[in-house]
Amino acid sequence: GQMRTRMAQMRERLGAAGKVGGVDLTPIAAQHGLFSIIPFTPEQVQAMRERHGVYFAGSGRINVAGLTAANIDQFIAAVADVTG
């Protein structure tokens, strides 16, 4: 359905961003499902919360369904900021 299509587009967009700051988002494009893991340190998870208002599990598990065309560029910029 529409949700699955949108999530696939968000995964493609993340994967296309490639290496962002200190992490490589490329593998996310090949993954499926609601969640993906980005290898953040606990400090980086905290920085995403405090500096960018982005909340996710301490494991670095992000909810791909929460990404939209309107916020994905901001999310990628935040990842670059905290991992760079």
pLDDT of residue 56: 87
Q: Could you report the per-residue pLDDT of 26-83, keeping only the tens digit for each?
A: 999 999 989 999 999 999 999 999 999 999 888 899 999 999 999 999 999 999 999 9
For the chain, the distance separating the N- and C-terminal CA atoms, rounded to the nearest angstrom, is: 36
pTM recorded for the entire structure: 0.92
DSSP state of 68: -
Beta carbons of 76 and 23 less than 8 angstroms apart: no
Beta carbons of 44 and 23 less than 8 angstroms apart: no
pLDDT of residue 70: 95
Strands 19-20 and 35-37 come out as unpaired
pLDDT of residue 57: 85
**Angle of CA points 51, 52, 54, to nearest 5°:** 125
